[in-house]
Structure 1
Amino acid sequence: MSIEQIAAAIDRVSAALHRKPQAGVHDDSAATARWGGGLRTQVHSDNGRSVATDMPAEIGGGDSAMSPGWLWRAGLASCAVTRIAMLAASEGLRLEVLEARVTSRSDTRGMLGIAEADGRLVPAQPLQVELHVRIGAPGVSAERLRALVAAGAGCSPVTCVIEQPLPVALHIDVAA
């Protein structure tokens, strides 16, 4: 789609949601992961798409696919780029460069449920996350591009769920 088509689509949806705000609330497509043996999974969406995951060999995986943690970083990077591109299109900006790189630092002990010497559990989540965005648009000031990135990343659903976490409601069905 061209930036004009993207902007027109966003304008149509925005106008409809201003008239009828409740129409914006919806159930998202579920992600259903099925164990594939070892530490491998196959994750399916409601529309039939799927992605495989596996863990590194160092912790018992087969290293045959990307890890769930990498997919999380990929989701953060791609969601930020998508939201920034949407905002740029809405503002009529023609981007020449837009990429995001997500880095994180983790302690594997947390995922394995290992405690510190004092008995405190090591956190399972990353200890640090960084979103690096590279952007360029001809004739657009660096200040405007920085503001665009900040605004776009600030409305990225994946960024927001990390910065403003929600509790996960755990439901367990035991198979017979």
Structure 2
Amino acid sequence: MTQSPITDALKRVQAVLQRRPESAWHEDGPATARWAGETRVVTSHTNGTQVPSDMPTELGGTGDLITPGWLFRAGLAACATTSIVMAAAAEGVVLDSLEVKASSWSDTRGLLGMAGADGQPVFAGPGEVQLAVRITAEGVPPERLRALVQAAVGRSPIPSALQAAMPLALHISAG
């Protein structure tokens, strides 16, 4: 698959950012989630795209929609995939295939505010988060592809935020 438009776009952006590095800093588009009854939530992008989610039946949901946890993993996988594609284009590597699978384990007791056997609260977030990358590019040695993936994921925004365990600023309006 040709990646020329990506390569061209990256060169243009890099040229601009070399001249005006301050223009690289921008606010990321907000995701706004609105409760839609029961355990359903509709999350909206400023462009109008809406993503409904719900919890599984054992947690009071209908189980017919994706869960917020799945959206987290989807964002992680999509962000890593995009970064790998961009890195490949920048290095002149023409990809034949690329698949990134994000997986994790969660302990539902954490979501429910329960304590473990030791009496301590169970962690509510995902554990054992993993990315499995399958990548092919004709004529490119596997070790070069591994290095490309490692570097790209290392500068990919969502994987980087997860690895750095970014603090969450929580602002609450109640009343």
TM-score, normalised by the number of residues in structure 2:
0.96
Structure 1's unaligned 5+ residue stretches are none
The corresponding residue for 1:90 is 90
- Pairing 1:87-166 to 2, within 5 Å after superposition: 87-166=87-166
State the superposition RMSD in angstroms. Answer: 1.2
| 1:12 paired residue number | 12
Alpha-carbon distance between aligned partners in 2 of 1:28 and 1:130, rounded to the nearest angstrom: 25
Return the offset for 1:119: 2.1
Deviation at 1:2, TM superposition (A): 4.2
Percent sequence identity over matched residues? 50
Distance in 2 of aligned mates of 1:57 and 1:23: 46
User: Would you say 1:79 and 2:85 are equivalent positions?
Assistant: no
1:129-152 Cα offsets, whole Å, 9 max, x none, are: 110000000000001000010011
Matched residue SS, 2:5: helix
Q: CA–CA distance in 1 between the matches of 2:94 and 2:147?
A: 15
Matched, 1:53 2:53: yes
Distance 1:33 1:40 in 2: 10
TM-score norm. by structure 1 comes to 0.96
Match for 1:139: what amino acid? Answer: G
Encode CA deviations 1:10-61: one digit per residue, 9 max, x unaligned: 0110111111111010111110000000100000011111101100001111
Q: Which amino acid aligns with 2:14?
A: S
Secondary structure (helix, strand or coil) at the match of 1:133 reads strand
TM superposition outliers: structure 1 runs of 4+ over 2 Å: none
Helix, strand or coil for the counterpart of 1:83?
A: helix
- Give CA deviations for 1:78-117 in whole Å, capped at 9, x if unaligned: 1111100011111111101100011111110011110123
What is the number of equivalent residue pairs in this alignment? Answer: 175
